[in-house]
Amino acid sequence: MNLINLVVIGYGGMGSYHARELIKETDGVKVVGIHDIDPERLELAKENHFEVYETLESVLTDQSVEAVLIATPNDSHKELAIAAMKAGKHVVCEKPVMMNTKELEEVMTISKQEEKIFMVHQNRRWDNDFLIIRDLYQQPKIGELFQIESRVQGANGIPGDWRHLKQHGGGMVLDWGVHLLDQLLFMVDSKLTTVAADLSYVLGDEVDDGFISYLTFENGVRAVIEVGTTNFIKLPRWYVRGFEGAAVINDWDLSGKIVKQTGTIDHHNLVPIQAGQGLTKTMAPPSEEATTTYEINEVVADFDSFYHNFYEVVRKKAEPIVKNEEVYRVLRLIETIFEAAETKQVLTFE
């Protein structure tokens, strides 16, 4: 295997995670060095037995380096990506790819001009919980899905770094929304027609500490995408409904269940239940004979791992799993969410 020599630019949380855990020589990519503008991060890289590059120029002029990973604050992605590609390097970029679609258009143009690969690490396409829901959408084991609710919630606020600063592209729409929106658009094979959104600023930061977006697709799918950082009690990670049942995944541990209608519901002979100070037939649970409950089982991705795909794209001109056109669509949706929240309107998307 003709390994791709790669330098990690930005040895923070994600950069170090890539270097330690994600990039493997068995996938065809080798980390040959680290660059960071923080001397303390370079010392840490040395302690972790990585070679270090003191300057960006030393990375870009090293002819043995074929590719770089950009894992720096969001507002620096464009400048670094363009410099790297003009120096003859392929680029892997952490998300969100750029601050706006205009920046991404510039980078995509340079990628074509310099004939260098530019790929975005939308890693949560490989998350087990997402793959399970994607399988339910594709198969459809509980009938065609018509409602998809996707949430990530915590109670620790925004990390006390650049993520709470607007100039660096902070906020939860860009930090976590980009993941959930990418998953949704990667899964639902239909035009996205309308977008509504509400952003949260309860922590008093200049960037959003959470949001709720409501999305409708041409094929009838309705989606709720929600991120929160002040949720001391979390809602389920996923809740989906199909025409023959429903499914819930509670958290990253994949706890949850699938309930499918396998019998007939006798609407004329429903037994009422006590509901507070009244009775209800409508909200009574279905009979045991009408439904079957299934466990949540893991699903293996039917596409290659990210870095092996990157190797195949560079060496063999394979099709990228994360396409720049898809990334652009997600970034355009993020811009529409900001606009919808600011104007308090339901906006047309496609």
What is the Cα–Cα distance from 91 to 181, expressed in whole angstroms? 23
Tokens standing for residue 281? 């037939």
pLDDT tens digits for range 8-36: 999 999 999 999 999 999 999 999 999 99
Same domain, 171 and 157: yes
What is the Cα–Cα distance from 232 to 255, expressed in whole angstroms? 19
Same domain, 137 and 103: no
Residue 27 lies in a domain: yes
For residue 269, name the pLDDT band (cuts at 50, 70, 90): confident
Q: How far is CA 122 from the centre of its chain?
A: 6
Same domain, 269 and 327: no
pLDDT tens digits for range 301-347: 999 999 999 999 999 999 999 999 999 999 999 999 999 999 999 99
Split into its structural domains, the chain has a count of 3
Same domain, 153 and 286: no
For residue 266, name the pLDDT band (cuts at 50, 70, 90): confident
Residue ranges making up the domain that contains 260: 256-295
Same domain, 194 and 156: yes
Same domain, 149 and 84: no
Q: Give the end of a domain, one of 93, 121, 149.
A: 121
Residue 310 lies in a domain: no
CATH code at position 111 = 3.40.50.720
Same domain, 235 and 116: no
What is the Cα–Cα distance from 344 to 127, expressed in whole angstroms? 32
pLDDT at 119 over 90: yes
Residue 308 lies in a domain: no
Helices (H), the chain: 13-17, 39-47, 56-60, 77-86, 101-114, 128-138, 172, 178-187, 306-316, 324-343
Residue 85 lies in a domain: yes
Residue 66 lies in a domain: yes
Can you tell me the mean pLDDT for 290-310?
96
Same domain, 84 and 150: no
Q: Using an 8 Å Cβ cutoff, are 149 and 238 in contact?
A: yes
Region of 110 on the Ramachandran plot (φ > 0 left; ψ -120 to 50 alpha; else beta)? alpha
Q: Using an 8 Å Cβ cutoff, are 340 and 208 in contact?
A: no
Same domain, 172 and 99: no
What is the Cα–Cα distance from 117 to 69, expressed in whole angstroms? 12
pTM of the model: 0.95
Residue 233, judged by CB atoms within 10 A of its CB (0-12, 13-18, 19+), counts as exposed
Half-sphere exposure in the Cβ direction for 47 (13 Å, CA): 8
Q: Give the end of a domain, one of 73, 102, 121.
A: 121
Same domain, 203 and 78: no
Same domain, 136 and 242: yes
Same domain, 219 and 137: yes
Q: Give the end of a domain, one of 63, 88, 121.
A: 121
